[in-house]
Structures are given as C-alpha cells and as structure tokens.
Structure 1
Amino acid sequence: MINDYPQALTIAGTDSGGGAGIPADVKTMQMRGVYSAMVVVAVTAQNTLGVQDAFPMPEKLIDEQFASIASDLKIRACKTGMLADPIRVKAVVRNLKKYNLGPLIVDPVMVAKGGAKLLSDDAIAIVRNELLPLATLITPNIPEACELTGINIKDKTDIKRAAHELQKRGAKNILLKGGHAENSQKADDYVLFEDGNDMWLTAPRINTKNTHGTGDTISACITAEIAKGHSMEQAIMIGKTYVEQTIKEGIHVGHGHGPLNHWVKVKGDEIDDI
C-alpha cells in the first residue's frame, strides 16, 4: 500500500504572495486529489503587484531535492515552471534525465504578462534544445511560443504552425494558450496531440484582473490528472475547465493582479472516486 496514492512533483520557484509558482501548483494538485511534492529552484519576493526580488537555489541543493524525492516517493507525473537561469535549467534537465518521474509537463515560464522576459536568451536556448525534447506536454502562451519557435504569431494559422514546430523540436503534445491574442471576446487554445490529431478549445473572456497564476494552475491541474491515470485529452479538458472556474468564481486578494480561487470544484467531477 506504500506509495499507492497518486503523487506528482512541481519543479519551480516560490511565490511569497501565494498566487503563482509552487504555491499555486500545490494548491491545485491538492484540490485535484493528488499528493504534491516539490523541488524549489528559486525563491522570490513577490505579491500581486509584481516580483521584488529573487534568489536561485544552489545546484547542490537542487540535486539533493531530486534525490530525496526519488528515493522515497513514487512520482507519477511532474511539471516545471519558472527555472530562473541557465545554471538552474541545466540542473533540472540533468535530474529529469537521471530519475524516472513519470510524464513531464513543461510550462515554459519565460515571458511575464506585461511582456518582460523572465529568462535570458541563454536559458531560453537550453529550454528549447534540452528541456523541450523531454516534454510529454508543453503549455506555452503566445509570447513564449514566439520565443521558442521564432514565429511571429498573429493569427490561428500562425498558432498551428508554431505548435507543429514545437512538436518537430521534440515535445510530444502541445497546448498553445491563446490568452494573449488580441481578440477581446474569447480566447482560443490550440491542442496538438502526439498522434497528429488536434483541437481548438474556445472560452469567453472573463472581465477580471485576478488572473495571477493561470499558467501554473492549468499545467499543475493537467499534471495531477495525468498522475491519476487520465489520458492526455481528458487531463487537458479537466485542466481547462478547472482554471476557467478558478477565474469565474474569483476571490479578491491584494491590490494588483489577484490570485485564482483554487478551492473550486469542477461540476460532475470524479474526484471522490480516487
């Protein structure tokens, strides 16, 4: 019975404000009925108004966190988030190759909502060339997909072209999030599966500034569902529904871009049957 319960791992940075990063991942996985472990890659001083400071973890401590988790827990799926810099990205890639931690979901956190780059060009190159080929699923937004592919994404045709380019570079499945598109009425997410099938997921935009941590939340939810044994399509559909509800049934915390409501439950959910 030891390690029989579904377990997942988040590999990312902290958010002292609690809305994004590892806190959002852990809250999401907990709500989805999955035990969450973590590898802390960086610590940030952060709130709903922005990031004030950050400190990357020493490589040795990153290695030891991975070793500690792998020696005791049975991780069924894992995800990456903010990875800080080239040294930290390389450390994460090295450990992902060393240990069997299940399917890997890569949330390539490299461009902030305001457009500021969160990773240097050197770090982005390592994500593109070394991390992306390890990914079972990659979940970039439009600016991140532009950075990874070099494609200037302006419309749905460009979105599909970028997704296929990401697949050529090694990622098996792609969820390209369309929230940064200029359409103010709806957001179109594009999913390209490993077998070549694809689909569009469309949702109306919700008029709120409380969307801090949406990328972390959907990728964490998908990771949790994969850990529970769901197919990639099922996991993506549940993730999309869950994050929509966290925005729709929002809470008001802080003076800037507030966090999501991670307490929500998806209607008709099977979570009690775990």
Structure 2
Amino acid sequence: MSPPPRILTIAGSDSSGGAGVQADVKTITMLGGYAMTAITALTAQNTIGVTRVEQVSPEMVAAQIDACVSDIGVDAIKIGMLGSAAIARALSDRLETLAAPVVFDPVMVATSGAALADAETIAAFERLMALATLTTPNVAELEALGGDDAMAARCVAYLAKGGDAEGATVIDRLVRTDGSMLSFEGSRIATRHTHGTGCTLSSAIATFLGMGLPLEEAIDRARGFVRSALRAAPGFGEGSGPLGHAQARG
C-alpha cells in the first residue's frame, strides 16, 4: 500500500471550522492525503463574520514550513490567507527551494465581507503567483489582481472561479500560461452554506496534484468534491454556513 500524498496547507485558522486551515485539513484527509499545516494567522470568526485577527510572525510561519518539509517531506502545497506582506515574502523565499506543485488561493476578503489582505499584501502576491502551479481567484479577487489582461501579462496559470458571478450555471475558467482556456461548468447549487468553498477547492486541487494527477483532472475532481460538500452542508450557523466535508464524496 503506497503512502498518502503529503499536503502542506499554509493558511489562517478559522475558529468556526468552516474555512482556512480547518477546511483544508478536512478536505485533504477526506481525499486520502496526509495534512500538514503552517498557520499564518488566528481568526475569531463564525458564519456571520470575523471579529478579530492576530497575525503569526513571518519567522514562525517559515519555521512551521521548515519543520514539516525537513522531516516529513511534501508532495503539494496549498496557500490561503497570508495576513501580511512580510509573510508573503518569506513564503516566496521558501517556495523557491521546493519542487512540489503549489496551488495559491489569493484570499483577500472573507465570505462574510471582512478584509483579510491589505494593499501591500496583495502587491506581494505577484511573486507567489509566478511561483505557483495554479492561482485560484474568485470574481472579486481577479478584478483586484487586474483582470484577465493583467493575469495574461504575468504568464501565470489561473482558475477564474465563477461561483460569485450571476446566473444559473457556474463556470470556472482554467487559463493556461500559453493563453489557452478550458471551461468547467455546473448548475448552481442554491444554498447559503458556502463558507470555505474556495479553501476547499484549492486544497482539493493540491491533494489531487500531490497524487500525480494532471492539472485538468485535479480541477475537475476537486470541483466534484466541492459540489458534493455543498449538498451535504450540515446547516450550521445563522450566516454563510460550513460545507459537509465528512459527508462529501471525493
């Protein structure tokens, strides 16, 4: 029996368990991976909103990464909320020394609307996008990064997520570094329980990449897992509730 793929998630902690590191660990585990974490920030939040954020020092983030990679090793990396430009720069330094595929979810705003990245941090995303195998912006994040034209000029691969767009059909667009595009479509699932969908998708893609799947298949299977988790949402909270990771099928 072969060992599970070793997946390192570098992201913030969500006290309510719906997004961030908690959603990543659930996703990676349910899909058959071995989850490791480097926590970038602590958040006090629930389905209604974020009430407090405390950043972890860049040195501690780097130490967590080094501790995992030096002993256990890593087959794929997922990056989520970073919290500061200094952490983004420290992370870029580490990624330059690693050969594992990287999925970068450029988290800027929580589902509740709380800002999770300032302008300096967003500017520091440039180097991370250049190092990543795939960047996964939603509609608002893609706009903040300059839109399709700016992403094309960077020559980076990205998945433009359409869950926040209007319409009965959700369309996610994979744009490769050569400019070619592949669309993934699915009917919209009517639910308010969407907390952590971006975290779940990006960590699922990373897990499948860690298993050795090609990018297109990793995205397709990850989207299927997210859709299954949306349908299995337990209905917790008064706002944007969490997904049903444990009941979803990979």
Check 1:23–1:206 CA distance in 2 against 1; reply closer, same or farther (3 A cut): same
Tell me, yes or no, if structure 1 residue 229 matches structure 2 residue 216.
Answer: no
Deviations 1:195-247 (CA, angstroms, capped at 9, x unpaired): 54322112222221100000000001000000111110110000111101111
Provide the rounded CA distance (Å) in 2 between the counterparts of 1:261 and 1:82: 21
Unaligned runs of 5+ in 2: none
Question: How far has the Cα of 1:86 moved from its partner?
Answer: 1.4
Aligned mates of 1:114, 1:167 — CA distance in 2: 29
Asked whether the 8 Å contact 1:251–1:260 carries over to 2, the reply is yes
Give the partner amino acid of 1:179: G
CA-based RMSD of the aligned residues comes to 1.8
Equivalent residue, structure 1, for 2:129: 132
2:165 aligned with 1:181 = yes
Task: Find the counterpart in structure 1 of residue 85 from structure 2.
Answer: 86
Q: Which runs of 4+ in 1 moved over 4 A?
A: none
Partner of 1:238: 221
- State whether residues 111 and 240 of structure 2, in contact with CA within 8 Å, keep that contact through their aligned partners in structure 1: no
Matched, 1:211 2:194: yes
Aligned residue for 2:43, secondary structure, equals strand
- Map 1:83-162 onto structure 2 (within 5 A): 83-97=82-96, 99-100=97-98, 102-113=100-111, 115-127=113-125, 129-149=126-146, 151=147, 162=148
Displacement, 1:53?
0.5
Q: Residues of 1 paired with 2:71 and 2:12: CA distance?
A: 22
Conservation of the 8 A alpha-carbon contact between 1:56 and 1:88: no
| Partner SS state of residue 164, structure 2 | coil
Matching of residue 199 in structure 1 with residue 182 in structure 2: yes
Could you tell me the TM-score, scaled by structure 2's length? 0.94
Counterpart code for 1:70 = V
Corresponding residue pairs, total: 250
Q: Which residue in the other structure is 2:42 paired with?
A: 43
Shift of 1:69: 1.0
Partner of residue 159, structure 1? none
SS at match of 1:14: strand
2:223 & 2:123 partners in 1: Cα distance?
28
Q: Percent identity?
A: 37
1:265 Cα offset (Å): 4.2
Residues 7, 74 of structure 2: 8 Å contact kept? yes
Residues 6-60 of structure 1 deviation map (CA, whole Å, 9 limit, x = unaligned): 1111000000000000000000000000001010111111111111101111122
Letter in 2 for 1:43: L
5+ residue gaps, structure 1: 152-161, 270-274
d(CA) in 1 for partners of 2:70 and 2:221?
A: 31
SS of match in other structure, 1:64: helix
Q: Which moved more, 1:3-12 or 1:211-220?
A: 3-12
- Judged with a 3 Å threshold, the aligned counterparts in structure 2 of structure 1 residues 200 and 9 are, in CA distance, closer, same or farther, namely same
Q: Deviations over 1:108-139 (max 9, x none)?
A: 00133355542111111110x21110110010
